[in-house]
Structure 1
Amino acid sequence: MNEIEIGRGKRGTRAYSLDDIAIVPSRRTRDPQDVSVSWQIDAFQFGAPIIGAPMDSVMSPRTAIMLGQLGGLGVLNLEGLWTRYEDPEPVLAEIASLEAETSGNFNPAVTQRLQELYAAPIQPELITARLAEVRESGVVVAGSLTPQRTQEHYKTVVDAGVDLFVIRGTTVSAEHVSQNQEPLNLKQFIYELDVPVIVGGVAGYTPALHLMRTGAAGVLVGFGGAATGANRQATGIHVPMATAISDVAAARRDYIEESGGRYVHVIADGGMGYGGSVVKAFAMGADAVMLGTALARAEEAPGRGWHWGLEATHPDMPRGDRVHVGSVGPLQEILYGPSHHTNGTSNLVGALRRSMATTGYSDLKEFQRVEVIVSPYQAR
């Protein structure tokens, strides 16, 4: 019913971003302290449904441990600087010091330097060492590889004792076709693996349903790195997050019936730099959110106020930029407050609690049923 005529030869579906919708209070209210924001995937329980995106500007072993101790889940980028350099701190400092254009953050010289720095080979022993460091802290251990690198490094990751395995790419399908190399058979891979797998991104009903049929424990919705990505400009590919989450949540609903009750978690990934967007992701049907920009603003973030993803470092087709996000405060404050900002950059969990309480819902599964309206946001 949202299909419109673009021209005589093409029709398309109208889609909505998280900024285009708003939550409607329509029932009783609750005390925010009576609201539960806990989340469980497989055997792992978390106090908050917050996942740190596997991006070098967001998650280091130290910040992954901190996030885990604060009730969330930190995911290490196992193709990043922490597995390419014994000591990545000088490299991170150099990236933060690279000059930006006066008109913005986008400088070809910065992209070229990122490509050079990420050309260093991945060292399997460093994958083992970084994951071991997180494991020693007692928090849940999670690491991420792209589909292209999974077959090369997954045994090292599993042998290191990872609890959750994340396969994250710009767009991931269950039916990748290649005439040049043997593609990763996701269904066989997940079946043979002894740990739960989260896989994505995906932004539509049908590809999400196919990924759920592979046996994945969770599906990432979106293309990741929204604040740093230039995928729409470079390739023309983009789906607004509100519609994407809703479509994938519908696939989850139908897969439950198809599979006889198997539940696959929907994890929104990208486009949620502020508390209001995080809240609306759950309203559209997400079980958890994977945050990049919001956590890159933490004082402890390895990016030192800058933010970038693997898309920005691709040797042939970079589809992202290093962007300046600044620093808001400690990670604890960004998640739980107390906030000193009115723009939704801190106390993200508190914002979720308050919205759930204001609309009368006691847990996240109930909150997915909250009423929403289409109300495009106007900047004040």
Structure 2
Amino acid sequence: MSEWIGINRRARRCYGFDEISLVPGRRSINPEDVDTSVELCGFKFDIPIIAAAMDGVVDPKFAVEMSKLGGFGILNLEGVYTRYEDPYEVIDKIVSATDEEATRLVQEIYLEPIKEELIYKRIREIKEKDAICVVSSIPQKATKFGKIAEEAGADIFVIQATVLTVEHFSSSYESVDLAKFCKEMKIP
């Protein structure tokens, strides 16, 4: 069911919720007999729901709750949770900012450097609650943050990008070698 999208490359069409209509058929099934679980990288999740790696969506507490409910939330290792010891104070500032102040404020907040010790701390906060810990970073930081996440005890590391290919070339930064990265990582 895949289509050719380039030379030697195939992809399957994916659908969003707004593109699907469920219509009654000739058969029905008892909801207790439906299995919505999914297995990913050796981890079984009871519900097929992934919370996005965005500061406004996933914090360590939410990641723990999603794990307990059967899904998972991805903690963005480049967000406020790894830049500030007390990220909730920063988030409160954003929430209470006027529309005119918000953009400038967010830009200033993300100028704060990422602190490796906070990466360790946030991952431990999730793992101490017996939750599956999924974290992410952009490709340019994946090699560095992937190793830190692995050492800190994360279960899964996600490279987040709008578009990600096996080979990427850039003259302005070093790109991640995905094959090498995946081979060297001890976690999926």
Length-normalised TM-score, structure 2: 0.86
Equivalent in 150, 162, 167 of residue 158 of structure 1: 150
1:42 Cα offset (Å): 2.3
Deviation at 1:131, TM superposition (A): 0.1
* 1:169 and 2:171 correspond: no
CA distance in 1, matches of 2:70, 2:80: 25
Quote how far apart the aligned CAs of 1:70 are.
1.1
Contact conserved, 2:168 with 2:175, CA < 8 A, in 1? Answer: yes
1:151 deviation in Å? 2.3
1:45–1:21 distance in 2 versus 1, CA, 3 Å: closer
Task: Check 1:66–1:152 CA distance in 2 against 1; reply closer, same or farther (3 A cut).
Answer: same
- Summarize deviations over 1:202-234 as a string: whole Å, max 9, x none: xxxxxxxxxxxxxxxxxxxxxxxxxxxxxxxxx
Unpaired segments of 5 or more residues in structure 1? 1-14, 101-106, 197-380
Quote how far apart the aligned CAs of 1:64 are: 0.7
Kept after mapping to 1: 8 A contact 2:147/2:185:
no
Write out the 4+ residue segments of structure 1 that deviate beyond 4 Å after TM superposition.
15-18
Matches of residues 1-380 of structure 1 in structure 2 within 5 Å?
Answer: 18-100=17-99, 109-196=101-188
**How many angstroms apart in 1 are the aligned matches of 2:162 and 2:15?**
20
Shift of residue 48 of structure 1?
0.9
Q: Match of 1:45, SS?
A: strand
Of all paired residues, the percent bearing the same amino acid is 41
Paired residue secondary structure (1:19): helix
Separation of aligned partners in 2, 1:182 and 1:148:
7
- Counterpart-to-counterpart distance in 1, 2:26 and 2:183: 43
What code does the residue aligned with 2:60 have? P
> 1:18: Cα distance to partner?
4.3
Q: Say if 2:146 and 2:185, in contact at 8 Å, map to a contact too.
A: no
Structure 2 gaps of 5+ residues are: 1-13
Cα distance between partner residues in 2 of 1:39 and 1:17: 18
Choose 23-32 or 124-133, whichever is displaced more: 23-32
Question: CA offset at residue 17 of structure 1?
Answer: 6.0
Aligned-residue CA RMSD (Å): 1.8
Over residues 67-96 of structure 1, what are the superposed CA-to-partner deviations in whole Å (9 max), with x where a residue is unaligned? 111111121111000100000111100111
